[in-house]
Amino acid sequence: MNSVILVIIVFAGYLIAYHTYGKYLARRIFGITLSNKMPSEKYEDNIDFVPTKKNIVFGHHFTTIAGLGPIVGPAIGIIWGWLPAFLWVFFGSVFMGAVHDFSTLVISARKEGKSIGELTGDIVGPGSRIAFQFIMQFLLFIVLSVFALIVATLFVLYPESVIPVWAQLPIAVWLGWQIKKGGSDLLYSIIALLLMYGTIILGVYFPVDLSKLPLFQNMPAYGWNVSDAITVTWCIALFIYVFFASTLPVQKLLQPRDYINSHQLFVALGLLIIAVFVAHPVISAPAINNLSFAPESDVPDMMPILFIIIACGAISGFHSIASSGTTVKQVKYETDTLPIGYGAMLTEGLLAVLVLISVAAGLGMGVDSDNGRLVGTEAFYRYYSSWSTTNSGIGAKLESFIIGASNLFSSIGIPPNIGRPMIAVFIVSFANTTLDSATRMQRLSLQELSKSVRTEKTFAPFKNRYIATFFVVALAATMTFLKPGGKGALLLWPLFGTLNQLLAALGLAIVSIYLYRKRKNYFLAAVPMLFVLTMTLWSIFENLLVFLQAEDYLLVSMSVIILFLSCWLLISCVHSVIWKKISV
């Protein structure tokens, strides 16, 4: 199959979905209108609640929900073949992910900008609120701890990305200042983007490789591994950065930084689409890969793990935290929720499909190996011959996409020595966005707990945003540094995938109850909820067996706690529908 056909299908399909199903949800199911006053105006404080233009909030929201998810997930999930991965991304994003993101954004807007955890207390019942908040806090804690390690590792793997990623911060502050003064956000954001690409070229010629510094070269004499020492150094710098980034007013750094990143995204998407039409490579990856059926294969069965690994490109629980955590506090008009909530998810689906094409077709354009230049199917199996090869380390997970996309870029005249750093900066920038946005979300969630009558005394100190943020960052840093080289962050990482999808199912359950009580078609949320919940519980029980066999009782105990809280929430949902009449 030619990759051009796949691009046309997904591009046309998403446009049709947005203008039919998306608008049906907005107008007929939720009845969004300009007359509803948004929390950003009701509670405007110029820190977190800031009414902002639709295009800027779209950029902030998209880069928050995307991160590495729509890149890493498809780059791994394609091992079972490009067809099941594509079908899950396409239909999942239209009928599940976009519904989930848009619905939680609208409901939060109508409930004073409360997070999905607080909404649970209002819609289901007060007793379920703490359970949902715990699951949220636990997920964000893992994200913050692990993504600090991921970004630090990416700085080590791609030293040419260091200058542009850090230079993006003063560029973003400058952009925010220009917009605040009333300047054209489009004009100044384009200037900021050009400055950003200038720093990429600078990074190519001046890569920041800390291993060349005498300080780190002498580390072995003190019993330190050089790579571990560099990773820890970057982690410390990142934790300091996210503390300040997450306490600053959102319009001073995060909004303009994410706006630049959204421009980066559209440039990358545009270049990849143009490259596909110019090169029109044939998809060399198998439609359905039979590796998992081979007697001696280490590739696990596709069901249910495909639906856990490919999350952000189809549906992700993290998105409901973003929608109801930070995005809703910046949306100016309720009508903006459709392009921001539903549209951003479809855009993320498009990115995930282009990642699949880069791997499925771009790799086939040529890969260097010890046996010479590999092309076609041989190039694909260079990275996807076994599960251990595909899933070994962040570098291995990203390399196939970077090489495939770089091959596509070469077809439109962008040389690999420029194309690969461009993609690397794009990846690190998105990972960094997830890092500081997650910190802000966790801080806001703690502050919500401090406003509750039941928890006010316990969480009273967290009313101060600096104390709350310090606690969040210090806790994550402690976890990260429990093991040498920041590897402590990975202790709980095996729980992330199932926890994330479980949160998506629970988010859809809250939406279903909301629609049920409004006498709307709640099946639009309930059916996706049942599917995601089934796949997630299936995966959790399989993981439990693995953890038990490995005698990893930390993961076993945390899995049991999460299962208990989830069952409690689901029973509470059913109970609230049958017996209680809670105002929504």
Do the domain assignments include residue 534? yes
Eight-state DSSP code of residue 366: -
Confidence of residue 308 (pLDDT cuts 50, 70, 90): very high
- How many other CB atoms are found less than 10 A from the CB of residue 453? 7
pLDDT in tens, 510-548: 999 999 999 999 999 999 999 999 999 999 999 999 999
- How many other CB atoms are found less than 10 A from the CB of residue 194? 11
Do the domain assignments include residue 300? yes
Do the domain assignments include residue 429? yes
Q: What is the CATH number of the domain that holds 476?
A: 1.20.1740.10
CA distance 354 to 358: 6
Least confident range of 188-192, 327-331, 429-433 = 429-433
Do the domain assignments include residue 120? yes
**pTM for the whole thing?**
0.92
Looking at residue 459, its pLDDT comes to 66
pLDDT in tens, 107-121: 999 999 999 988 888
Residue 508 CB burial class (10 angstroms; 0-12, 13-18, ≥19)? buried
Do the domain assignments include residue 583? no
Contacts of 150 (CB under 8 A, 6+ apart): 68, 394, 431
Residue environment code for 37-66, b if the CB has 16+ CB neighbours within 10 A, otherwise e: ebbbeeeeeeebbbbbbbbbbbbbbbbbbb
Do the domain assignments include residue 144? yes
Residue type, 56: I
pLDDT in tens, 227-281: 888 999 999 999 999 999 999 998 999 899 989 888 888 898 999 999 999 999 9
CA distance 253 to 260: 11
Do the domain assignments include residue 386? yes
Looking at residue 133, its pLDDT comes to 85
| H-state helical runs in 373-519 | 376-381, 387-390, 393-410, 416-449, 456-459, 465-480, 496-517
Do the domain assignments include residue 566? yes
Q: Which domain holds residue 221?
A: 3-578
* Total of domains in the chain: 1
pLDDT in tens, 116-161: 988 888 888 777 888 888 888 899 999 999 989 989 988 998 899 9
SS3 of residue 260 by DSSP: helix
Give yes or no for residue 18 having a pLDDT over 90. Answer: yes
